[in-house]
């Protein structure tokens, strides 16, 4: 099984109450970028590695969504589902 190394966090957003990061992988193009839940990254990478990625991301994107934000709503990709 091949493991993918995360190169950087490039975006953040909420899905419900859960923060997601869009990540890029070392050696792969942007078509392979994907959204990962912060909690999953914390479990997979460990606290120190995730904090290092977050530090760089938020330094370059100070207004991006954070896990400590009180307003936890999605800023992109909203869809409306009609209930019958």
Answer whether 0.75 is exceeded by the pTM.
yes
CA 23-20-30 angle, 5° bins = 25
CATH number of this structure's domain 1-84, picked from the four choices 1.20.1440.130, 2.40.50.40, 3.40.50.1820, 2.60.120.40: 2.40.50.40
Domain boundaries, the chain: 1-84
Residue 4 pLDDT class (50, 70, 90 cuts): confident
Q: 20 has which bridge partners?
A: 13, 37
CB 50 within 8 A of CB 41: yes
d(CA 22, CA 20): 7
What percentage of the chain has pLDDT greater than the value 90? Answer: 71
Q: 24 has which bridge partners?
A: 8
Residue 74 pLDDT class (50, 70, 90 cuts): low
């Amino acid at each position: 099984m091949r493991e993918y190394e995360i190169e950087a966090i490039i975006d953040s957003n909420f899905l419900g109450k859960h923060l997601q990061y869009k990540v890029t992988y070392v050696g792969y193009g942007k078509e392979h970028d994907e959204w990962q839940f912060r909690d999953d990254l914390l479990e997979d990478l460990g606290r120190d590695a995730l904090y290092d990625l977050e530090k760089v991301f938020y330094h370059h994107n100070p207004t991006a969504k954070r896990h400590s934000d009180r307003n936890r709503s999605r800023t992109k990709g909203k869809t409306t589902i009609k209930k019958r």
